[in-house]
Structure 1
Amino acid sequence: MTQGAPGTVGTQDTRLIVIRGNSASGKSSVAAGLREKFGRNLAIVGQDNLRRIVLRERDRPGGVNIGLIDLTARYALDNGFNVVIEGILYADRYGTMLQDLVRAHRGVSRCYYLDVPYTETVLRHETKADAEYLQHVTSGHLRDWYREKDLLSDAMETVIDAASTLDDTIQHILRESGLDRVLPVDR
């Protein structure tokens, strides 16, 4: 895992946003919404993409994907991209990496935890359009993966509850991170 000293990643102008929560809590939708509202120059570093697609790795303590998420975010920040890291990102497995990254980032960093009750995650899961995924991931899987209030230490996350609409959550993060005041770069 790549670890840098404080103040060694990105620039004072880059934004780092971490969105965590249980399966089907809305993390990917929020990340996509942020990109849609912001435009280009916003890198989405998705845990599922790097862990399941790129590496085809199970989510285990000490997994290689932890370092790859860190490395990818650092690379994007160092090249002037604003970054959204999104995923379940269990605190006991990913917390140290995320805390080190936030400490090392020169610009504004904000972390969010989407706090959605288990019953609501099941309802949201059932609305996913990917029929093959729905066949392979059941409510039993969701129950096994679910961790109530799996917050990072040091109160570094803003908790957003299930009552917040998708648009309200996106607008809140845009405002609080300052992305609503940053001009996108057309790359």
Structure 2
Amino acid sequence: MKLVVLRGNSGAGKTTTAKALLRALGPTTLLLSQDTIRRVILQAPDHVGTPAIPLMQALIVWGQAQQFETILLEGILKKSVYGPMLADLKHHWQSQMITCYFELPFETTFNRNQTKSGAFDRATLASWWQADDLLGYEDLCFDQTASLETQVNQITIALTKA
């Protein structure tokens, strides 16, 4: 059983990559999206103490109990809010956790965001922006030159080695 964490700014490609991984890995994979959990299910703000943290942790435990081979957790997951939770996950999962960070320039993420339905304005995206929000134990980092195929292939290879 493996846990893959996909982190980065809005519009960086995390959700697209997670959905491609879900298709590639099949029905033994559970996809947990921070946006869905925090904004849709809980309608909770994104700050220290958000109820999204214990719910994400509970869903990961549930996924383990259901014996999913791979659990994908994707979202901005900024270090200032989710850092302790992610450190706890790393401690628990150790080498079975693959952490990926999407590090793209603001302009690239803004332009990508504008192609989405319900796109956010520049000021909103800028208020969320986290430059170099690295945890220090990332296994993979992707920039704007990494294609979706490359990202999926590199994560898939990392899964076989973990």
- Short-chain TM bin: over 0.9
* Higher Cα Rg, which structure: 1
The alpha carbon displacement at 1:157 in A equals 4.2
- The yes-or-no answer on 1:32 pairing with 2:19 is yes
Q: Deviation at 1:64? A: 0.7
For residues 106-121 of structure 1, what are the structure 2 equivalents within 5 Å? 108-121=96-109
Matched-pair identity in %: 28
1:73 equivalent in alignment to 2:60: yes
Partner of 1:184: none
Q: Deviations over 1:82-118 (max 9, x none)?
A: 1000000001110111121122127721000000100
Does structure 1 residue 170 correspond to structure 2 residue 152?
Answer: yes
CA–CA distance in structure 2, aligned partners of residues 156 and 122 of structure 1: 24
Letter in structure 1 aligned against 2:5: V
Shift of 1:165: 0.6
The 1-side partners of 2:40 and 2:147 are apart by 29
Asked if 2 retains the 8 angstrom alpha-carbon contact of 1:151 and 1:157, the reply is: no
Structure 2: stretches of 5+ with no match in the other structure: none
Q: Distance in 2 between matches of 1:150 and 1:107?
A: 21
- Spell out the pairing of 1:144-183 with structure 2 (5 A cutoff): 144-153=127-136, 155-178=137-160
Look up the match of 1:182: none
TM-score when normalising by structure 1: 0.81
Q: Secondary structure at the match of 2:81?
A: helix
CA distance in 1, matches of 2:97, 2:160: 10
Report the residue type matching 2:154 in the other structure: H
Q: Give the paired residue count.
A: 161
| CA displacement, residues 115-173 of structure 1 (integer Å, 9 cap, x when unaligned) | 01001001111111x2xx12xx21111111111110114x3442211110111111110
For structure 1, the 5+ residue unaligned runs are 1-13, 180-187
The match for 2:8 among 18, 21, 24 is 21
Question: In the aligned structure 1, how far is the partner of 2:7 from the partner of 2:41?
Answer: 20
